[in-house]
Homo-oligomer: A and B are copies of this chain.
């Protein structure tokens, strides 16, 4: 039993990190090219330059790998949003910006669009990954008297599902992208804003997202 090397990490641990990262990267690429369903484990393994069976040393199932991919996408988006909203004053506006950005990204970024089927998995990942930020914002805006969201966790969960559902409807052409502002307004209503304030808040100009 090795007790780590000079750097606190042996060759094995290093290789395992490489493999795990390569697998998630390959899976992200292929899944966002062809959709999560159409991506095969064999193709992912090949692109990650790893044996087909090796995937199962890292992920119990294809679904678990897909979840890891989603968590990566959401982490990236969360970082971008943080970078912008850091300097906002109004926590209500932080929240509004967040959900609008998720909506725009989910419908605009091809890396998201292809994953929108399996909404329940995505909505759950969204709930878990962005939850800490969203719930904090909901509470702060509530404390500031802007929202009425005692059960912030519940509100956030409902919002996640509605948001992903709306994104899917837009990518499938059942809903016009022009509705985005109204979608956000309705979701703000759910956080305890009256329709007029919600519409105003959803309509405010937004700074652009940084990066890609």
Cβ A175 vs Cβ B154 within 8 A: yes
Interface of A is mostly: helix
Report A204 CB to chain B, min CB distance, Å.
Answer: 19
Q: How far is the CA of A148 from the CA of B189 in the complex (A)?
A: 11
Of the listed stretches A21-29, A41-49, A84-92, A165-173, name the one at the interface; the rest are far from the partner chain: A165-173
Which residue in B120, B187, B194 is a CB contact (below 8 Å) of A168?
B120
CB-CB under 8 A from A169, the residues of chain B are 157
Report the separation of the CA atoms of residues A118 and B117 in the bound assembly, to the nearest whole angstrom.
9
Q: Are A120 and B154 in contact (CB under 8 A)?
A: no
CB-CB contacts below 8 Å: A127-175 with B: 148, 151, 154-155, 157-162, 164-166, 168-169, 175
Interface string of A165-197 (1 = CB under 8 A from B): 110110000010001001100110110101100
CB distance from A203 to the nearest CB of B (A): 14
CB neighbors of B among A70-119 (8 A): 117-119
Task: State the Cβ distance, A66 to closest chain B Cβ, in Å.
Answer: 14
The residue in chain B whose Cβ has the minimal distance to the Cβ of A155 is B186
When all copies of this chain in the complex are counted, the total is 2
CB distance from A50 to the nearest CB of B (A): 28
Say yes or no: A183 contacts B165, CB within 8 Å.
no
Q: Given that A120-B119, A151-B182, A165-B123 are contacting pairs, would A192 and B190 also be in contact in the complex, using a CB cutoff of 8 Å?
A: no
Given the contacts A117-B120, A168-B120, A190-B189, A195 and B160 also touching, CB distance less than 8 Å: no
CB distance from A140 to the nearest CB of B (A): 18
Q: Given B161, B168, B182, which contacts A154 in the complex, CB threshold below 8 Å?
A: B182
**What are the residues of chain B within 8 A of A161 when measuring CB–CB?**
119, 161-162, 164-166
A residues whose Cβ falls under 8 Å from a Cβ of B: 117-120, 123, 148, 151, 154-155, 157-162, 164-166, 168-169, 175, 179, 182-183, 186-187, 189-190, 192, 194-195
